[in-house]
Homo-oligomer: A and B are copies of this chain.
Amino acid sequence: MNKNAFILIACCLMTASSMAQQQLGQRPRVKSPVINADGTVTFNFYDPSAQRVSVNGDFEEIRNQRLEMKKQDNGVWTATTSAPLNAELYSYSLNVDGQRLIDPSNSYVNRDIATLSNIFIVSKTSDDKGHLYSVNNVPHGTLSRVWYDSPTLGQQRRMTVYLPAAYDGKKRFPVMYLLHGHGGDETAWGDLGRASQIMDNLIAEGKCVPMIVVMPNGNPTCNAAPGWWHEGMYTPDGNAFNDRGAKASMEESFMDIVNFMDSHYLTIKKRSARAVTGLSMGGGHTFGISRLYPELFDYYGLQSAAARVQRNNAKFDEQMKRLFDSKPKLYWIAIGKDDFLMQQNTELRQYLDGKGYKYEYYENDGGHIWRNWRIYLTMFAQKIF
């Protein structure tokens, strides 16, 4: 039965009152999601011919399971969470008869590798995570997509630079280098990580010092995010360019970024004004950078890091010794209890403990997810400079 026939029959079966709402070609206006006064969230979706519609999301209640929606007489499917949601940035999609859909009533989406998801924010007080991840009425920093030259990689490359609102072309600022994970790019920390909102808000509240934040692209075979370099609009899959053979690793080419920043921006060119932190693969990059350039940074943050101890490797031991002999002000390891990289991180901590190297450790709930990385960025930014 085709769609038109279905509508025709459906209309014939309708009561007068519902017909008033749903004449042919007249779709009810749908708002979704609706964050209700009591903190519950309602999702709405119009599709009179669908058989089963549900919400997939990362909110606590459903823990990545479906929230089933119910069809109303006017063809609008609806579902409300059974309890108020905690303050947080949430992502979700709809499932309509087995098909994953972006909610057409919500134009706010994030891309994670090749997948788009809708987002919304729940905030209840001015000091909760939802508020921290929101754009508030505070001074805003400048967010730029900047192309720099990487002699090491032989490429023109794109990165994201956040300049604090106080950046006035006269004063100098410390710099945090903020690295993404596997499948990510120079847009990940800004979009999925809400980095500019977190920094704007922390700075406005006096919880961290104004700083420059540099978010480079950590894939040495990609000049930029998908669609933003001359490879065109390829389908990102996180591995698309891995077999190409980069001229150098992210860590080996990292000084190109630091040199560019120090020559093009008003940075404070001192170890005490440099921090580097990254998540997952970017935590691995942070780990590698800490060994390659042991006196460049005073602050290191390994977030859910792919940071494997190299056993019986004299060079590794020597690098680690040199690094910790230089007494960095902070070597911070953060990971969630359920993270699949917990074992690696435990072994790294055992190694550091065995050598008597000083570090800080933070463990919280959850796994290898952006929800945790936003928390880690928030914590790390307040520990540095």
Contact = CB atoms under 8 A, between A and B. Distances in A.
A21 interface: no
Nearest to A33: B233
A233 B96 contact: no
A51 B1 contact: yes
Contacts of A97: 3, 6, 47, 49-50
B139 A156 contact: yes
A134 interface: yes
For this chain, the copies found in one complex come to 2
Contacts of A134: 230, 232
Nearest to A112: B107
Contacts of A120: 233
Interface string A95-112: 011111110111111010
A136 to B, nearest CB: 5
A26 interface: no
A354 interface: no
B165 A147 contact: yes
Contacts of A101: 99, 101-102, 104
Nearest to A196: B145
Given A31-B235, A107-B115, A144-B145, A7 B230 contact: no
B169 A3 contact: no
Contact of A230 (B6, B100, B135, B146): B135
Nearest to A146: B142
A137 B49 contact: no
A107 B169 contact: no
B3 A98 contact: yes
Contacts of A105: 235
Given A51-B3, A165-B147, A235-B31, A100 B108 contact: no
**Which 4 A-B pairs have CB atoms at the shortest separation, nearest pair first?**
A144-B144, A137-B230, A140-B147, A3-B98
